[in-house]
Structure formats: C-alpha cells, structure tokens
Amino acid sequence: MSEERFAARRRGGLLDRWRRPLIIFGSVVLVAAVIWLIWFSSLLAVSKVVVDGESTLTEAQIRSAGAVPMGRPMARLDTVGIEARVASMERIESVKVSRSLPGTVRIEVVERKAIAYATLSGQIRGIDRYGIAFRSYASAPKGLMKVDVIVANPRRRQQTLAAVASVVEAIDKKDAPLRREVQSIRATTKDSIVLDLTKGRTVTWGSASHAERKLTVLNSLLKIKASEYDVSAPDQPTTRK
C-alpha cells in the first residue's frame, strides 16, 4: 500500500471518528441558539399592542389595564394574566389575547351592553343581559328598560337581576310591540317578576322560564280588556278587570 493511500485511509478514519461528536455538538449549538432567540432575544420581543372591539372604553384604557410588558420576549408573555387584568374591567364581557410574530400582541374585547337600568345603592346603573350592573349614568338613560329590584341579600339580588335581564332580553328580541308598552319591570325575588304596562296595566310574569311561551300567551291575553294579566303559569293564564 502506498503512503498516499495509507494517509488517505487514515484521514477517512479520523473523519468517521469525529463525525458523530461534531453533529451532536452542532445540534446542541443550534438548539441553544433557537432557545436564546425565542426566550431571550429582543428580535421576537413585544413591540406593539393592538386593541380591537372597544366602544365605550378607549384603547389607552384597555392597554393600561392589560399592562403588557413591552420588550419582553413573546414566548415568555403571560397572556392569561393579561386577559385576567382586562377582564377585571367592569365594562368587559369577554377578552382574548393573542400573539402575532414578530412582536405584536392583540387584545380583542367584547364590551358589555346595557339592556336595562336600575337604581342600586343610590346610583343609576346599566344592567347587561346577564344581570350584571357594570356602569353608572348621571341620569336615566333613554331607550333602556327601567328595572326595580328590591332584594336586600346580595346573592339573591344578583339572581333576581339575572332573571329580570333574561326577561328583558326575550321581550327585546321577540316582541317589539310589547316592548313599546312595557314601562318598567319589577321583582322582589327571581320568581316574582312583574311587568308594568301602559294604561296602568300589570302582568304577573313569575320566573324567567318559558319566556317564549309566555309571550305567545300574553299576546292573546292583551286582546282582552283588563287591568291585570297573569302568565306565570302560561298553560293556565288569568286576567282581572
């Protein structure tokens, strides 16, 4: 065997011996570089916050509540914490926080919408579809249903507000003519809802259940001249003159 062929074989053996350690070392370096790029580098850090869905709130208010840490790597961003902070705003119904590489954080909100109002603890408060009192008004807002809920216990009051709000939403969505006749809604429990109509008429509604059935029955009852209507048991409605 010539010296050149022997040297070539020796070099090939050395390369084979070092190939695997070099591949492993290169892989480790590559993984470390990727980890550093994602978790520690400023290249994929938060540089912009976008807010969508706001109406009565401002972008600045939502950004302030979210307290998104600018400059923090996107992978280390606590989106759950941001959502929790924004969700704590009383006018927010729901919120979703997402990342968009290389550095944009998007906060999408759905604000609560008032469907009624009530005077609670001396303040005029807007009530949403879930019965949540989420905002204050200086005076009675036009176009919203007036609600009177006289319940001392906080838990029962909230249950009653939720039941009343459910009735308001059903009337708003299903029966526009009736909505124009309802002056206010009152309740002392979640099962004792009463509608005050025009011309001094009242409707004993009862609980929030079977709303559509009650609306259908009430439409027929209102053709009868009376001062009191009772649809709390919709299969056995009554009237009183």
CATH number at residue 220: 3.40.50
| CA pair distance 147, 203, nearest whole angstrom | 14
- CA trace torsion 151, 146, 174, 188 (10° rounding): 20
CATH number at residue 81: 3.10.20.310
Look up tokens 């303040």; give the residue.
Answer: 123
Give the count of beta carbons closer than 10 Å to the beta carbon of residue 179: 13
Question: Are residues 104 and 61 located together in one domain of the fold?
Answer: yes
Question: Are residues 145 and 211 located together in one domain of the fold?
Answer: yes
- pLDDT tens figures, 89-110: 999 999 999 999 889 999 999 9
User: Into how many domains does the chain fold?
Assistant: 3
- Give the residues of the chain that fall short of pLDDT 70: 1-43
Question: Are residues 219 and 132 located together in one domain of the fold?
Answer: yes
- pLDDT tens figures, 19-61: 666 566 556 555 555 555 555 566 678 999 999 999 999 999 9
Residues of the domain holding 154: 116-240
Question: Are residues 10 and 74 located together in one domain of the fold?
Answer: no
Give the count of beta carbons closer than 10 Å to the beta carbon of residue 17: 9
Contact between 65 and 89 under an 8 Å Cβ cutoff? The reply is yes
